[in-house]
Structure formats: structure tokens, C-alpha cells
Amino acid sequence: MSDDERQGGGFGSAHRVDGLLGDLQVADERPVAPRRRADAERNRAQILAAAERLFAEQDPRTVTMDRIAKAAGVGRATLYRSFPDPSSVAVALLDEHERRLQGQLLHGPPPLGPGAPAGERLAAFYLAMLDLLERHLPLALGAETGAARFGTGAYGFWRVHVRTLLVDHGVEDPDPLVDIALSPLSPELFRFQRHELGLSVERLGRSLAAFARQLLRSGGVP
């Protein structure tokens, strides 16, 4: 039974049977369950749409659960049944975009997908991640800033991908290099380089692609 169903109550009122207190009668929930599920899905869609607007319009670090609930037109209890904090809302929004990229890394054409040299695959991954950050930076800042970045499932996936490329290339001790190789993709660093230093995505991409090729060409020591 979902939280929405618990909130609505799944039981009918107590009945007296032949003058005695009868057991609580379990109401038939089947006719109303689809409506409740539809309500929950509608609330979730409203929450995500409202949160995406808020993350885009203001500093993601200032977005609160109260603001999300108000913008979505739902109660705080409804919001907290689905998400514990603003970061989890951002993660849900970003998840779809990251899953698409993950599919391309696993099954897409080279050089992003399998079949290209490790250095070319790492360069292609950098370019794809820069494009994702450019298009969805507010969500990334809301979901993956500071230490929270390292706890996301997406970061774990990127970590496995980069480590695999290092191992395939023959790097003897890949583990210390994995997070170093991923550090240029920090949303906070990307924001600083793009919006404070004014570096273009194309310029960042050229530099990171060259870094990727040099990293793997030299066996892990640029």
C-alpha cells in the first residue's frame, strides 16, 4: 500500500452486527486505488516541474522545500512523502538526463560507446558531460554540490566507467586517478569556469579532450 493510500485510510468505519461490536471491515480498495495512484503521479509531476523552474530561476542552494511546495501547489506533507529535501528533487530531475548518457556509454556508437581507444572514449565522455552540464547546470548544482556529489548513483557510474578505461589502457594503479580524472566535471567548477571566467564550452572541451588523450597515452602521468 502506498503512502497516499495510508493517508487516505484503507479501512471503513466499525459496524455493529446483531447489537455487538463487529470487527473492522476492510473496505474494497480496488475501485479507488487507481485514482489515488493517478493523484500521486500528478502531484509528483507538479513538484518536479515547479522545482525545475525554481532551480533555473535562482541560486539552487537557496531553493527550500517550502518554496517547492508553494510553487507546485501541494502541501508540505505531500512533498515530503516523495522527497526528503531539495537535493533529492534535483537528483530526480537530473536522473533522466544522466541515465540517457549512461546508456550511450554502455551501448552507443564509438567513441562515446565501446569500440574506440580508451583515450578517445574518455575525451568523448568529457565532451558529453560538458554538454550535460551546460544544459542542466542548475539541476546539477542542486543535486551534486560539495560532498553530496560523491554519494550519487550517477557519480558511482561515472567512476566505474573511468576506472574501466584506465584499466583497459593498462594503468597499473587506477584508483587514485579516477576521482582526479572526474574532478574537472564538478558542477561548481564548471559554473566558475563558464560564468565567472567566461570560458566557452568549446574551449573547455578542447582542453579536456587533450587532457584525456595525454592522461591515457602516458599511462596515467600527464
The amino acid that residue 47 corresponds to is I
Mean pLDDT of 205-215: 95
Place of cell 556529489: 149
Q: Is pLDDT of 22 > 70?
A: no
To the question of pTM greater than 0.75 for the whole model, the response is no
Q: Is pLDDT of 176 > 60?
A: yes
**Which helix (DSSP H) or strand (DSSP E) does residue 21 occupy?**
strand 20-21
- CA distances 191 to 32, 101, 169, 201, Å, are 47, 20, 31, 11
The amino acid that residue 60 corresponds to is P
In this predicted structure, what is the pLDDT of residue 17? 37
Is the model more confident about 2 or about 117? 117
β-sheet bridge partners, residue 21? 16
Q: Is pLDDT of 19 > 60?
A: no
